[in-house]
Amino acid sequence: MAEAMRRRPGGEHEDRGFLCSVQGYRWLPSLLPLLLFVLLLPFQLGAQESPAGFDAVAAAATSAREQNDPSRAIDLYRQAVQLNPKWPDGWWFLGLLEYGLDWYAEARDALTHYVDLTPNAGPALALRGLCEFETGEYAQSLTDIEHGLALGAANQPRNAQILYYHDALLLAHAGRFEGALEVYAKLAHDEQPNPELLTSIGLAGLRNAALPKEIIAANQTDPYLAAGNAAFLFMSGHESEAQAAFQDLFQRFPTAANAHLLYGYLLFAKDPDLAILEFKHELEITPANGTAHALLAWAYLLGDNPGGALPHAEKAVEEEPAVATAQLVLGKSQVDTGDVKGGTAHLEQALKLEPDNLEIHLALAKAYSKAGRKEDSVRERRECLLRSGGGEAAQVARP
């Protein structure tokens, strides 16, 4: 915390770097990494009327912070913001100091006051999200971290690693496994990864919503560590090594659910034929795997084989009726095999589940056109234009 406590909002600061190490993993947040946020925050030092005594207390708080006396600084900052609740810098430093002492609930509350005063402070939102992660408020943590990322909290590469890691953890914990894998791919570089990162990737890949600490505590890391290592190798561009690692995974854990699905998912964009084989292998192990059925149906649709897609799409909806991808592939399969009315109903259901999914809008535009519903088709095409930045996007490899 020493470096952050030397920083002054709007003034000069020392930047001697920071540590990113918790239990040997340099990407996980320690007490120091998030202190770089001080450099990013748009501190608003407006002219405000200060109550009597405020200036003296604020100056004493600043002095205690600069002298590396966090406990005294916290006490003084608390007094200062009571005297002037509209002092944004006071709330920021109070939250930062409390975060540094692992007082996550208190830091969260202080940062909430800061965010109320400066609503578009992305780094503060992201730091509040990290506090909420520590207090177990996972849904709100995901919201705050993603809002912070959208506002530029990851503009510094080292901050990006910390935030993307937690974003991926929270996406997987929420059951959004594909989204988690996409985020983990941003962290897959040539550096030697820590086992905790590999376990986290493996959990998302094998579609387990548990947090890594839960798996580690239960001493059940082996299949997730192996899956995470194979996926990391693939994501970092070492595809030959990844192939060998996946074969080792299949041999060591022949009945592990979603292992072949993971490899097929990673292969999909580059080699759909190999991906199809992996999805079929997955269905030999877990015949009721709705995600494998949905992705297999999608692969057949991309190969202009709606007849081959239809039975898998039907099985996907049977197993996972509340999943938009399942409804999408069944809707497309039915429309393309002549059941326009039935297919449109499934596409409309998919849209209710995921209103922002471009693929669903594209499919509905086609379905409405086939049904002679011109106005509805035009509306969906306009939606596609808006969502694709001015032109209808080509179909992507994954729904």
Which domains are assigned to the chain? 1-42+54-173 (1.25.40.10)
Tokens of residue 316, six digits? 């996907």
Q: What is the pLDDT of residue 22?
A: 29
Nearest to 202 by CA among 146, 252, 243, 259: 259
Query: How confident is the chain (399 residues) per 10-residue block, as mean pLDDT?
Result: 36 30 36 43 42 86 95 96 96 96 98 96 96 98 97 88 96 97 91 92 98 92 97 96 98 97 96 96 97 97 96 98 97 97 97 94 96 94 80 42
Q: What is the pLDDT of residue 158?
A: 77
Distance CA 25, CA 22 (A): 5
Distance CA 111, CA 121 (A): 10
Degrees, nearest 5: CA angle 262-266-268: 110
Inter-residue contact 16 to 4 (CB < 8 Å): no
Q: What is the pLDDT of residue 300?
A: 96
Distance CA 146, CA 242 (A): 30
| Cβ partners under 8 Å of residue 376, min gap 6 | 364, 368
